[in-house]
């Protein structure tokens, strides 16, 4: 019987042996991860509407460093790519598979980018397992139009209204806006 087993048999506290292979400071991290680690995040910047090989010429690839704890926000990722690719960060949409991280449309509040983190979408844990996976960035799209705006625009065009935008704007906010029959 070894000393540890003898101590356990007598209900004594046995000191834990520290793993010598652990990274320095890892014992302080309760999550098992060292917070100051950095991961390489691959980014695909695309102007294509689909991810198919025939549209490869519309895509460029970049790599940035992100914190392994996932605390980088969509705004952080966009700023880092902006520095590398010389693109305006405020016009980019960050996607992780089908999920949009941060803003999805132009005109949306920029604070969404500042509070939506990579950790929220488990990006860094997936990147650790599959380092060849990439996040995708596209240009922000216009905000979706109100369905009544499309209907009134079509009506104005059908009526040969000269100022279509003015016609639609004059109906917006009135009780006529959501009426489909005149």
Q: Tell whether 52 and 120 lie within a shared domain.
A: yes
Domains in the chain, number: 2
pLDDT value of position 26: 43
In whole numbers, what is the pLDDT of the chain averaged over residues? 81
Owning domain of residue 48: 33-139
Q: Tell whether 121 and 159 lie within a shared domain.
A: no
Lowest mean pLDDT of 54-58, 93-97, 156-160, name the range: 54-58
Q: Tell whether 121 and 39 lie within a shared domain.
A: yes
Is residue 28 situated within a structural domain? no
Q: Tell whether 110 and 155 lie within a shared domain.
A: no
pLDDT value of position 180: 72
pLDDT value of position 14: 40
CB-based contacts of 104: which residues, under 8 Å, 6+ apart?
93, 140, 141
Q: At what angle do helices 164-171 and 147-158 cross, to 10 degrees?
A: 130
Classify burial at 143, counting beta carbons within 10 Å of its beta carbon; exposed 0-12, middle 13-18, buried 19 or more.
exposed
Q: Tell whether 127 and 54 lie within a shared domain.
A: yes
What is the pLDDT averaged over residues 127-134? 94
d(CA 163, CA 151): 15
pLDDT in tens, 73-130: 999 999 999 999 898 999 999 999 889 999 999 888 888 899 999 999 999 999 999 9
d(CA 42, CA 135): 6
pLDDT value of position 181: 62
Q: Tell whether 100 and 176 lie within a shared domain.
A: no
142 is written with which tokens?
A: 């216009």
Q: Tell whether 64 and 128 lie within a shared domain.
A: yes
pLDDT reading at 182 higher than 80: no
What is the pLDDT averaged over residues 153-157? 90
pLDDT in tens, 9-27: 444 444 443 444 444 444 4
What is the pLDDT averaged over residues 151-155? 89
pLDDT value of position 82: 92
Choice between 50 and 32, residue whose per-residue pLDDT is larger: 50
Q: Tell whether 70 and 86 lie within a shared domain.
A: yes
pLDDT value of position 6: 45
Longest dimension (CA), the chain: 98
Query: Whole-model pTM above 0.75?
Result: no
User: Smallest Cα–Cα separation from 103: which of 65, 64, 63, 143?
Assistant: 143
CATH of the domain at 52: 3.10.20.90
């Amino acid at each position: 019987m070894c000393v540890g087993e003898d101590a356990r048999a007598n209900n004594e506290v046995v000191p834990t042996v520290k793993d010598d292979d652990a990274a320095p400071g890892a014992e302080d991290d309760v999550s098992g991860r060292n917070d100051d680690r950095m991961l390489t995040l691959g980014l695909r910047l695309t102007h294509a509407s689909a991810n198919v090989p025939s549209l490869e010429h519309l895509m460029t690839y970049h790599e940035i460093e992100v914190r392994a704890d996932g605390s980088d926000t969509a705004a952080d990722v966009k700023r880092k790519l902006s520095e590398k690719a010389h693109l305006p960060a405020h016009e980019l949409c960050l996607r992780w598979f089908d999920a949009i991280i941060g803003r999805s449309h132009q005109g949306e509040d920029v604070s969404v980018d500042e509070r939506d983190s990579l950790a929220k979408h488990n990006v860094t844990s997936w990147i650790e397992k599959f380092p060849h996976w990439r996040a995708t960035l596209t240009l922000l799209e216009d905000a979706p139009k109100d369905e009544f705006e499309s209907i009134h625009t079509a009506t104005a065009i059908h009526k040969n209204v000269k100022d279509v935008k003015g016609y639609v704007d004059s109906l917006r906010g009135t009780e006529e806006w959501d009426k489909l029959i005149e």
